[in-house]
């Protein structure tokens, strides 16, 4: 059985991913990448595909119909998490795609519905982030609130400011500066938040990407020992 093919980039560094499982890692998926996998194996071959990251701004992402065609391929397991993978898993779960992680659950429950919650911009060569995902901004604001760094009003207000920004422009420095500009009474809270983020920034997308890779490893190892 061939190694699982996993499309990942900014959500999780590939070197970190390899420490979990030595899969066939590929750059964030664009339109046509998943349909192309249909020609990479014969019907009799078993295949595990993990969709985590895809292109949003730089190119078109994999469409639901092309992911559907892969999901319906015999002996093929398609997993989705964290970013475009979570969105497609919500759309295609009833056809057999498996969604993994908190972000998938949030979209499935329709707590969020907009693609810009997971969209980011990044350097295509290094995969380094150039903006922050709205879902991760919310996650870090919630952590800061729970740790007493900011209060509920500051959390909600900062989230609203971030959401009002075009997704490629979302970064913590600009979000904090814009919140201070619009709401001067929150300046002290924003200073606390800035210090907190600098040392404690976390990523829900990264956590979900790790979950998908761990699940792919488990499925691969179970099939390989049969």
Asked if pLDDT for residue 226 goes beyond 60, the answer is no
Q: Confidence band (pLDDT; 50, 70, 90) for 222?
A: confident
Q: Is 206 helix (H, G, I), strand (E, B) or coil?
A: helix
Does this model's pTM top 0.75? yes
Residues 6+ apart with CB under 8 A from 61: 29, 30, 31, 54, 55, 84
Per-residue pLDDT tens digits for 67-120: 999 999 988 999 999 999 999 999 999 999 999 999 999 999 999 999 999 999
Per-residue pLDDT tens digits for 132-191: 999 999 999 999 999 999 999 999 999 999 999 999 999 999 999 999 999 999 999 999
């Amino acid at each position: 059985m061939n190694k699982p093919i996993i499309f990942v980039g900014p959500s999780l560094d590939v070197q970190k991913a390899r420490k979990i499982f030595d899969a066939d890692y590929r750059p964030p998926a664009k339109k046509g990448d998943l349909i192309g996998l249909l020609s990479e194996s014969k019907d009799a071959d078993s295949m595990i595909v993990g969709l985590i990251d895809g292109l949003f701004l730089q190119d078109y992402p994999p469409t639901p119909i092309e992911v559907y065609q892969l999901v319906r391929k015999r002996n093929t397991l398609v997993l989705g998490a964290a970013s475009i993978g979570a969105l497609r898993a919500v759309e295609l779960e009833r056809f057999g795609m498996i969604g993994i992680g908190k972000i998938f659950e949030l979209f499935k429950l329709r707590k969020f519905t907009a693609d810009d919650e997971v969209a980011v911009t990044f350097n295509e060569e290094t995969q380094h982030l150039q903006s922050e995902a709205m879902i991760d901004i919310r996650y870090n604001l919630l952590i800061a609130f729970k740790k007493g760094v900011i209060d509920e009003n500051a959390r909600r207000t900062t989230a609203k400011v971030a959401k009002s920004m075009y997704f490629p422009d979302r970064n913590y420095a600009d979000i904090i500066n814009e919140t201070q500009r619009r709401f001067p009474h929150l300046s002290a809270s924003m200073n606390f938040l800035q210090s907190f983020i600098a040392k404690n920034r976390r990523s829900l997308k990264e956590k979900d990407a790790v979950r998908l890779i761990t699940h792919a490893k488990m499925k691969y190892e179970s099939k390989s020992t049969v």
